Structure 1
């Protein structure tokens, strides 16, 4: 059938480290995006309010 060249699951590439410093916390990305979108909405509402009061 041929030779096994080590392309299986146990290739030993060293990507199984468990250091938490490289991985983002759960929900961190969604929290950041939500925060930016919320600030943008608040700024838009405040800007529209100021713009309408100047008219």
Structure 2
């Protein structure tokens, strides 16, 4: 299981493994989360992979 991200980046050098900025860059940030202003934030509307609006 990958490490859970911190709520806020500690801005240290070198970056720790739980840093949300590092996890975003590496693509290991959990689905439904993003980073804004060095803080971990949850995305409100997470599009589901199974439903598609283009399918008619």
TM-score, normalised to structure 1's length? 0.26
- Bigger RCO of structures 1 and 2 (CA < 8 A, at least 6 apart): 2
Greater fraction of residues in helix: 1
Greater fraction of residues in strand: 2
Report which of the two structures shows the higher radius of gyration computed on alpha carbons: 1
TM-score, normalised to structure 2's length? 0.26
